[in-house]
Amino acid sequence: MSKFIIAPHMRLHEWIAVEKGYFDEVGLEYELEDQLLSAAGDRHDLGDRVGAYQTFEKGRTCDVSSACHWTVNVAAASGHGKLYANAYSVSPCGIFVPHDSAIRTPEDLANVPISVGYQSGSHYSTIQALESFLSHNEINLSFADGLLFKRMENLIDGAVPAVSLFSGPYYFMEQLGYRKVLDTSFMMAAMVAEDADLEDVEKYFSALRMAQKDIDLRQELYTHYYRNEFPERFKDQMDTRLFGPGERIVFEPYSREIFDESREWIAERNIFEDGLGELSYEESIVAPKMAEPAE
């Protein structure tokens, strides 16, 4: 039997499930794909206008992975995998600037280049959050700085004025004293490969449910796992005792209503010029029956 391939995504759950044996407990033969791990951080530097959606187009080499729900939605409707509809998650995210920046309010971000990942969570969530403060013509997104760690590095090096960051980098910016101008927390979803074993998918999420309980109860015991996916350059500076719980998995349906409303929002902002895919909600999702958690 081939192993179930998991791509970590800058959250604590998978690392807890490995260390505490939850994947073994549910009988999952698994392997973590080295998709984000990179001591130099170079795997996050994908270039201009290459983000999460483009990696789905190219074809991920794992059975399950995560990205912002907007991208997973469109990718699944375009036939690049199946959206897992039995759960979603919410990740803290924010727009950060240097502590001595003249930018102090969301309105101060008018026409300021904000580094985000193209067609990734930071892209959509920055627009969504800033719409309450700025006109669309005043929102200036920059896609030239790569994905998560590259954007963080550019802000630390003083190469960019403002950056959207989530998960571990979000907390690292707070530790270093960077100013969060605006919260842009957003929903994530899981993508399941077309040929993934649905029993394995069920086992995987059962293990994550156990890990979520651990995080809810004693997050401070597990924040050290953020170090597993950080570039080597920053590890000596990190004090993960100051970090928060990060992404939280919600075991509620990613419903047809969420699916349709999200697509309407994307279409109104013309984020995908080539369309949002033609598959229906039923054709785009997978929702295997999950075993009830042990008492």
pTM of the model: 0.90
Please state the separation of Cα 108 from the chain's center in Å.
26
pLDDT in tens, 158-216: 999 999 999 999 999 999 999 999 999 999 999 999 999 999 999 999 999 999 999 99
Please state the separation of Cα 235 from the chain's center in Å.
21
Whether 191 and 273 map to the same domain: the answer is yes
Does the structure show a pLDDT above 60 at 292?
Answer: no
% of the chain beyond a pLDDT of 70: 88
Whether 182 and 197 map to the same domain: the answer is no
Residue ending a domain, among 186, 208, 232, is 186
Instruction: List the structure tokens of 134.
Output: 């700025």
Whether 174 and 45 map to the same domain: the answer is no
- Judge contact between 271 and 49, C-beta under 8 A: no
What one-character DSSP code corresponds to residue 71? H
Domain presence at residue 294? no
- Judge contact between 70 and 122, C-beta under 8 A: no
State the Cα–Cα distance between residues 193 and 64, nearest whole angstrom: 6
Does the structure show a pLDDT above 50 at 39?
Answer: no
State the Cα–Cα distance between residues 144 and 139, nearest whole angstrom: 16
Q: Which domain holds residue 279?
A: 4-89+187-286
Stretch 109-125: mean pLDDT, rounded? 96
- Judge contact between 253 and 85, C-beta under 8 A: yes
Amino acid at 23: F
- Residue 291 has a pLDDT of 52
* Choice between 274 and 246, residue whose per-residue pLDDT is larger: 246
State the Cα–Cα distance between residues 51 and 57, nearest whole angstrom: 10
**Number of structural domains found in the chain:** 2
Domain presence at residue 293? no
Tell which residue, 36, 40, 43, has the closest CA to residue 11: 36
